[in-house]
Structure 1
Amino acid sequence: MMCIALGAFVCPSLNAAADGLPEQRQEGSSLREQAIQWVAYGKQWLARKMMAGSRADTNTAQVVCLLALSRHTGPIQTASIGSLWSPGDHDLTRVAMQMGLHRDPTIVDADMPAREVELRRRLWATMLELSLQLSLDNGLPAPISPESYDCAPPSEFTDDEATDADADPVSCASLTSFLLDYGLPRTNPLVILARTQRLRLQILHVVHSPGAAKAFEDKHRLSAELRAVYSAEIQRFLSLQKSASVFQLKLLDAFTLPFVLAPHAKFAASSTTNPAYYFSRKVRMEVSLLLLASQLPGPKAPDNGLGELIPDAVSMTALATGTTISTGASAASAGPDALTALRIHCQGHLATLQWHAILALCLDMISELEDSFFPAINGASWRQLQETIQTYVTVLEQRVRTSAGAVSAREFLFCSCAEAYIGAMMRGDREVDQVIASAGYSALTLCCEIMEQGLHQRCTVV
């Protein structure tokens, strides 16, 4: 039930229904409202279990992870659940350590079944990942040190490993059954996240710990090291997982690239007054572009983030190595798309990530245009950045529409004005103030119309 609730906010067909007939819009809205109630029931169940003094087990840990993820996929009304406590608001690493998940299962019990070993490893990697994202969002130090656990990453079980002469036939058969029973891919994207977690813990310590060294060289080294490791892991993932989807790879970006940017964030903010930090500004622009790009490199990008496949692994590796990206058509015209649906309905970490990325991209591009550094070299990239901003303004408009003006109205207004200012500077318009005022007026008018429509619909229902 919890998995269905999470999927309701990224289902491409429901996202397409939002632009369809009134009956389709009503059905999609009803399903999402029902999903919110399912999440509320899950939280109430967990609260009752905690109040009863029950010890946490792997089943409880799975529910906790799903509830924490629900904070990122759609609007969760805390008033309707009877409790302000939410798993996503707290450090799940401590919960996992109390369950002993930080120790590798083969060390704790050498005779543990292979499927239980895999389950515990995936739970640890998931709970640590959620804690890493929480710490990054809230500006907190690393929840644990890299040496505080010895749990191995989840298995990357392939057909070649299953036929390896050195492999244990019983363990291989059991693990194969586990993967098939739960519908898990042979190559799990969680493996990539797990293999970079220790490095990201170091970055959190350096960036957010008050007593840590703050030298630019140390931060730059960690950022470059993470980017190199992530690039290698993505290429390896694509060589093993022939059916990697846009949705998978963009989620990997969302969980990893902010840590590439974190060591540069403070220096990028000072780049307008200190040219020595200009490289940090370029890193921030690059990461922001990768996070906001709606499609991936290559001559043909898939339309559906969950179902369509990436044309080839070679073109996809450009995502990790930072080469050119084609944003393609706007989000509104790209058709039913799970990635677009997630961007429209997301909350929590993903919504914060999007806002920080578009804010940084707009401000940095304005600074680039005003400073006029390297205009001959940057001309093509400026147009690409402008297209990405235009695409995301469309996403913000959809967020305003789907929430009846309750979400992203200010962001939509700001980005509309920023995009108009950027376009005016690139065209060489002299009436810049008039262009900005016109864009702001149009955005405000649209928001007011959407809010009035939402108010009228609520009054009609009452």
Structure 2
Amino acid sequence: MEPYVREEPSKLWSGLQKCKSLAKVIKSRRAPPWPSTQSTALPPRHVCDQLVGNYLRTSETVYRVLHVPTFNRDYEAMWASNSDPDHVWLLQLKLVLAIGAATHDEQFSMRTEATHWVYEAHTWLSAPGFKSRLNIQPLQVSLLTLLAREATGVGEELNGISAGTVLRTAICMGLHRDPTRLPKMAFFAAEMRRRLWNTILELNLQSSITSGESPLFSLNDFDTDPPGNYEDEQVATTDPVPNSEDDLTTMSVAIALRKTFPLRLAITKFLNDLGSHGTYEKTLHLDAELRAAYKAMRRVTSRAKPQLQELSRFGAQVMDLIVHRYLLALHLPFFGLALREAAYAFTRQVLVDTAHNIWRAVYPSDSVIGSLRGERFRPDESELARLTRNGSGFFRIAATQACLVIALELRSQLQQGESLGPGPLRPDLLSIMEETKSWALECVEAGETNVKGCLLISGVSAHVDGLRRGLGQEDLAQLLMKEAEEGIEKCLAILEVSVTDGSATGDRNEVDKVTLDMQPGRVEDWEFVASDSLFDFGNLDSMNWIFDDTMGREFALL
């Protein structure tokens, strides 16, 4: 059958053009001039306190970068002093504020300020003076910059390049060697080096699984021991006694993740290395090992339930999400076969259950009640849910891929039911399909200029709905185009508000001055909407199993 194509000018195409111009205006207003001017200006004390608290409850519980007592001491001293603080320390503080701003409120109201702080850090890091930066404090700035870029959406799709630079810098500083194999140093210095190296490894591995690139390092490239289970106050003493594994500390999450690191590295290499041969038998073997490691990791938290608040709910949720993200990546290359062949039924079940777990972590089920009441955001939502919606990168990509897996599972069930007779669909999966459309718009309302995600989610959701209603191919194609157009219209309305409201100052006519170099009938420049890593399902030979002939109709004009 010939693809369905409208004869009149595409409403979808016109909306895409407008979204691109608005997105360019919004991004240009957020970004300060380059190089960015270094400033000592900060928000009021009470706002800074809230943002620092957000950071310490979230990011620092998973990715250890700072010695918190020292940071808090310097933070209090800064407010008590009339003199300007140390410049490098001030950069650290601004990056902490930028990361904390991502979970400060529902719509990331401080995104512009956070973007400026990230630019200031990049300006300083890009200046000459390389040897002077080979010490711990600049390395902390580099790590915080990586985390802040993902939290604020500033070039996060290329974080893997910067993470690799930080890795090589740390190697030049000798962090890949355990301090016991280096000249004698204070216990505090030795343990901070182990912590920083541990975070560097985690961020590099995370960027590899996100981008689909090889990690470019192995376990043989370093001998640094994992960090010890010490509270920050213990690290500052001489020869402290480490806490037992059952005692939860501020290091518990990082240590638990480090125990699964060799296996997660093996999975990433299995998926991304050019010489890797991704056999299904190897996939099942890695799956079994990851599940065993996950059970052991969960035993640590289950034995210490009375101390759960010390662990931080955010840290526990992130541990679960990270493991499920690797399970998802491990089985996705076989999803196409699993939808057609019973021999891969295990993979199909794993992917659906894993996608469900990821989605519920970032969009808790009680949010359905709020949606029915017309409430777009919940004041009691988890900080992980807020970070996923307001931020970018690893968590957002995991949520988006989970949405698509569930949509494809429902579509496959409906298509199989055409020949075998109608069968019941899981209501929990159907509710997720409704939630994904609201979530995609919430991301745009929170400051994301992504319309690609809204367009794709609208398309696959409409396809599932059309199949449920038993529409023919032509009616289904009409529905898909209609839903895509409505999705773009909603995104366009949100972006227009972002341009004209008080938080984005400037001439409204600036929108009309943006040059559009696209030709009608196709989209050549998607850079303004989202990173393609959102749709990277691993090293798949083909993605054709996602889009059949009918699904292709809604994008026929592209």
Do they superpose with TM above 0.5? yes
CA distance in 1, matches of 2:509, 2:483: 33
1:340 corresponds to 2:393: no
CA distance in 1, matches of 2:142, 2:345: 42
1:260 to 308, 327, 332: 327
1:188 corresponds to 2:252: yes
1:407 corresponds to 2:449: yes
1:85/1:147 Cα in 2 relative to 1: closer, same or farther (>3 Å)? closer
Q: Which runs of 5+ in 2 are unaligned?
A: 1-92, 511-558
Output aligned runs, 1:80-159, within 5 Å: 88=162, 90=164, 92-109=166-183, 111-157=184-230
Q: Is the 8 A contact 1:121 1:154 kept in 2?
A: yes
1:86/1:366 Cα in 2 relative to 1: closer, same or farther (>3 Å)? closer
Q: Name the counterpart of 2:34.
A: none
1:212/1:432 Cα in 2 relative to 1: closer, same or farther (>3 Å)? closer
Q: Name the counterpart of 1:202.
A: 266
Question: 1:424: how far off?
Answer: 5.2
Question: 1:69: how far off?
Answer: 1.0
1:344-397 Cα shifts (integer Å, max 9, x gaps): 221233333332222222122211332249x99x957x2112222322322211
Partner amino acid for 1:272? L
1:41 corresponds to 2:120: yes
SS in 1 for 2:338: coil
Q: Name the counterpart of 1:66.
A: 144
Output aligned runs, 1:389-408, within 5 Å: 389-403=433-447, 407-408=449-450
CA distance in 2, matches of 1:453, 1:326: 29
Partner amino acid for 2:507? C
**TM-score, structure 2 normalization:** 0.62
What value does the CA root-mean-square deviation take over the aligned residues? 3.6
Question: 1:399: how far off?
Answer: 1.6
**TM-score, structure 1 normalization:** 0.74
Q: Name the counterpart of 1:247.
A: 314
1:115-139 Cα shifts (integer Å, max 9, x gaps): 2232111111110111111222222
Aligned length: 395
Q: Name the counterpart of 1:172.
A: 240
Partner amino acid for 2:266? Q
Q: Is the 8 A contact 2:407 2:433 kept in 1?
A: yes
1:285 to 341, 345, 352: 352
CA distance in 2, matches of 1:459, 1:400: 21
CA distance in 2, matches of 1:286, 1:85: 29
Q: Is the 8 A contact 1:270 1:277 kept in 2?
A: yes
Choose 1 or 2 for highest CA Rg. 2
Question: 1:100: how far off?
Answer: 1.8
Q: Is the 8 A contact 2:367 2:378 kept in 1?
A: no
Question: 1:198: how far off?
Answer: 0.9
Partner amino acid for 2:308? K
Structure 1 stretch 184-193 or stretch 275-284: which is displaced more?
184-193
Q: Sequence identity, in percent?
A: 25
Question: 1:232: how far off?
Answer: 1.8
Q: Name the counterpart of 1:5.
A: 98
CA distance in 2, matches of 1:40, 1:46: 10
1:330/1:99 Cα in 2 relative to 1: closer, same or farther (>3 Å)? farther
CA distance in 2, matches of 1:157, 1:51: 34
1:200/1:396 Cα in 2 relative to 1: closer, same or farther (>3 Å)? same
Q: Name the counterpart of 2:406.
A: 361
